[in-house]
């Protein structure tokens, strides 16, 4: 059996870009999303056409019930065995970009529950399975990769709740790296910059202008496959002595320049 990866939010955008690159390297996949399976039939079929097994785990990472459903579906796919790779990619943007002085508790809770709180407890659950599998078989390969954002350190005052969640997720990645290091489970953070997805569709004109004026060292948008390539390299085990580290996929956006 191929190694198995769970990619949360894996049916579109960055998540699908990650899933494609993993499928190309013959990872079997469990794709998580909140839509009914029939609504994601096309991306699932595309992944299956690459010669790997693909399951679907419907559930909202932001709720306990959703996380339980994801766990149950994933364990059913693996026959109760631990997965080899957890990719924490699912995330939401604020429904309304509001000034920091106008951010509502409802928006804050919506974003943080999905992008940070839910990711923490989902990671906790799968990490327990991975640790148990490692104790049974020390050769068992396991990795955890969280997709954050340059918003972990780059301020956007009209979506403060998103920045706070991504900053917290960055620390979460370091915490799990420290906790799981002795168990032989590397934990990484991949931090994308401006990536062309449905989440950024509404600000295309804004970023087209900024990129043309030198926002990034590399003068282009990032694409989901850019993030997917980074995740695939980490999941291959190409960076075995780099747990807890951040891989930037931002075209040099955060490079200080005069």
Find the CATH number of the domain harbouring 184: 3.40.50.720
Q: Tokens 């950024």 identify what position? A: 200
What is the reported pLDDT for 198? 86
What is the reported pLDDT for 201? 86
Residue 258 lies in a domain: no
Residue 25 lies in a domain: yes
Closest residue by Cα to residue 114 from 42, 165, 40: 165
Tell me the CA distances in angstroms from 15 to 4, 178, 194, one per residue in order: 15, 25, 15
Helix (H, G, I), strand (E, B) or coil at 32: strand
- Residue 174, domain extent: 4-249
Find residue 40's DSSP bridge partners: none
Residue 115 lies in a domain: yes
The domain total for the chain is: 1
Each residue's pLDDT, cut to its tens digit, for the chain (258 residues) gives 799 999 999 999 999 999 999 999 999 999 999 999 999 999 999 999 999 999 999 999 999 999 999 999 999 999 999 999 999 999 999 999 999 999 999 999 999 999 999 999 999 999 999 999 999 999 999 999 999 999 999 999 999 999 999 999 999 999 999 999 999 999 999 999 999 998 888 889 999 999 999 999 999 999 999 999 999 999 999 999 999 999 999 999 999 999
At residue 97, what are phi and psi to the nearest 5 degrees? -80, 110
What is the reported pLDDT for 202? 86
- 13 exposed, middle or buried (CB, 10 Å; 0-12, 13-18, 19+)? buried
Residue 256 lies in a domain: no
The alpha carbon of residue 87 and the mean position of all alpha carbons in its chain are separated, in whole angstroms, by 5
Tell me the CA distances in angstroms from 254 to 115, 153, 248, 249, one per residue in order: 22, 9, 9, 10
Q: Which residues contact 198 (CB under 8 A, 6 or more apart)?
A: 12, 13
Q: Is the pTM of this model over 0.85?
A: yes
């Amino acid at each position: 059996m191929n190694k198995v990866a769970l990619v949360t939010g894996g049916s579109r955008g960055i998540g699908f870009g990650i899933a494609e690159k993993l499928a190309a390297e013959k990872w079997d996949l469990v794709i998580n999303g909140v839509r009914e399976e029939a609504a994601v039939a096309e991306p699932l079929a595309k992944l299956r056409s690459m010669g790997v097994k693909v399951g679907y785990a419907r559930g909202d990472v932001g709720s306990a019930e959703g996380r339980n459903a994801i766990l149950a579906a994933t364990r059913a796919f693996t026959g109760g065995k631990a997965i080899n790779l957890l990719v924490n990619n699912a995330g939401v943007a604020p429904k309304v970009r509001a000034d920091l002085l106008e951010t509502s508790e409802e928006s804050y809770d919506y974003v943080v529950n999905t992008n940070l709180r839910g990711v923490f407890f989902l990671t906790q659950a799968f990490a327990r399975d991975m640790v148990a599998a490692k104790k049974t078989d020390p050769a068992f390969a396991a990795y955890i990769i969280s997709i954050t954002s340059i918003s972990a350190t780059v301020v956007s005052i009209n979506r403060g709740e998103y920045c706070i969640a991504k900053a917290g997720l960055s620390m979460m990645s370091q915490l799990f790296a420290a906790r799981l290091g002795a168990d032989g489970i590397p934990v990484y953070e991949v931090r994308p910059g401006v990536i062309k997805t449905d989440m950024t569709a509404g600000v295309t004109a804004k970023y087209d202008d900024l990129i043309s004026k030198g926002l990034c060292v590399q003068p282009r948008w990032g694409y989901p496959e850019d993030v997917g390539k980074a995740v695939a390299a980490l999941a291959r085990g190409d960076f075995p002595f780099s747990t807890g580290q951040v891989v930037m996929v931002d075209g040099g956006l955060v490079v200080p320049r005069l």
